[in-house]
Amino acid sequence: MDIFEKLMKLDRRWVFLFLIAVCVVTYAADFEIPVLVEPEVEAIFNFVDTLPAGAAVMIPIDYDPGSLAELHPMTYAIVEQCWRKNLKVVFSALSQNAPGMADQAIRDISDSLKVEKEYNGVVYPPREIVNGVDYCFLGYKPYPAIIILSMGQNFRLPFPLDYYGTPLDSLPMMRDIQNYDDLACVIDISGTNATDYWISYGQGRYGFPLAIGVTGVSTAQYYPYYGSGQIFGIMGGMLGAAQYEQLADNPGLAKDGMRVQWSAHMMIIAFIVLGNVGYFVSRIRARRGERR
């Protein structure tokens, strides 16, 4: 059995093992991959960056731990940008495992705001993030379509209390926020089909500016909505998160993961080429054997 026949019969477990080894080694190595920012990601950054202080942005966290690696970096980069610029954030969670994700993100980002930092040449002083003043976490309710529609009437209809059990009217920032009309935009970060509902029931019915951050798997299916103007920006998977981190000058897990992406993709391409070479060579040899 020569090398080409061996390639054709290579046990897939060797591929898995090799892939994991390449990823671990590359993750441990310290080098940087340049990230090219796409206009659809830049549109979201510019929109948030130009909002006046005190404006309210809604960030639905619609993903569970399965999509954490891809979507958490987006949440961290956007929410930190919002809070550094003194914007108010309304969080919701329309996926049943999402409240834990949102709660963790809120705590972590609140902690990072306590330290003075410089982003894109601007020094931001440390500040304390206060629940009800800087943000409101609405929590989880099932059936996203119904919840999105009823939030368009009033946030208090589906969410009489916030995630921590406080009536919404008791929260200072929510006194001026009744429905989507009082928000500058909605940026849905989702690993579920809640994005479909935000586009059709939310943006389609109420017409607010909508941007989305979705997993790599579902990115391609949402590009038509970007082309039609139903969403003004889209972040696709870890690459989208890395682009946003680059724009926000706030490198995190996504930008860190780009070198692993690069090496893993190179390895996969090499395996595809090798597999095809093995296939074509063995096919040519089989034809020659038939002629003899």
Partner 1 sequence: MKKSTLIVMAVVVVLFLLSWVLKASALQPEQGSYILRGFLVTFAAFLTLAVMSFLYQDNPFYKFAEHLFVGVSAAFWMCMGFWTTIVQNLIPRLSTSLADYFMVPQRPEGLNLFFYTPVILGILLLMRLSPRGGWISRWPLAFIVGTTAGLNFIRYLRSDFIKQISSTFVPLLGTQWEGIGPFLSNLDLSASGQLVLLLSNWVVFLGVFTGLIYFFFSKEHKGAFGVGSRVGIWILMITFGASFGYTVMGRISLLVGRITFLFGTWLELI
Judged by the rule CB under 8 A, the positions of this chain that interact with partner 1 are: 13, 16, 19-20, 23-24, 27-28, 39, 66, 68-70, 96-97, 99, 139-142, 145, 158, 160-161, 167, 199-201, 203-204, 215-221, 224-225, 227-230, 236-239, 253, 257, 260-261, 264-265, 268
Any bridge partners for residue 267, and if so which? none
Shortest Å, Cβ 107 to partner 1: 14
Burial letters for 118-154: b for 16+ Cβ neighbours within 10 Å, e otherwise? eeeeeebeeeebebbebbbbbbbbeebbebbbbbbee
Work out how close the CB of 38 gets to partner 1 at its nearest, in angstroms, rounded to a whole number. 9
Question: What is the number of H-type helices and E-type strands within the chain?
Answer: 11, 8
Q: Which is nearer to partner 1, 4 or 271 (CB)?
A: 271
Nearer to partner 1, 83 or 155 (CB): 155
Residue closer to partner 1 (CB basis): 112 or 230: 230
Q: d(Cα 98, Cα 92) in Å, to the nearest integer?
A: 9
Please identify, using beta-carbon distances, which residue of 84 and 255 lies nearer to partner 1. Answer: 255
* Distance, CA of 66 to CA of 191 (rounded, Å): 8
Nearer to partner 1, 52 or 229 (CB): 229
Nearer Cβ to partner 1, position 135 or 140?
140
CB proximity list for 146: less than 8 A, separation 6 or greater: 158
Least spacing, CB of residue 285 vs partner 1, in Å: 28
CB of 292 to partner 1, least distance (A): 36
Contacts of residue 32, Cβ cutoff 8 Å, sequence gap at least 6 = 255, 259
Give burial (CB, 10 Å; 0-12/13-18/19+) of 8: middle
Closer residue to partner 1, CB minimum distance, 13 or 287: 13
Q: How far apart are CA 245 and CA 233, in angstroms?
A: 15
- Closer to partner 1 by Cβ: residue 86 or 200: 200
CB of 29 to partner 1, least distance (A): 10
Residue 69 Cβ vs partner 1, minimum distance, rounded to whole Å:
3
Helix segments in the chain, DSSP class H: 3-8, 12-28, 39-49, 68-84, 98-112, 144-153, 194-197, 204-206, 216-227, 237-247, 253-291
Q: Are strands 122-124 and 88-93 parallel, antiparallel or unpaired?
A: unpaired
Tokens read off for 151: 């939030």
Could you tell me the smallest distance in angstroms from the CB atom of residue 264 to partner 1? 5
Rounded to whole angstroms, the Cα distance separating 292 from 289 reads 5
Q: How far is the CB of 67 from partner 1 (least distance, A)?
A: 8
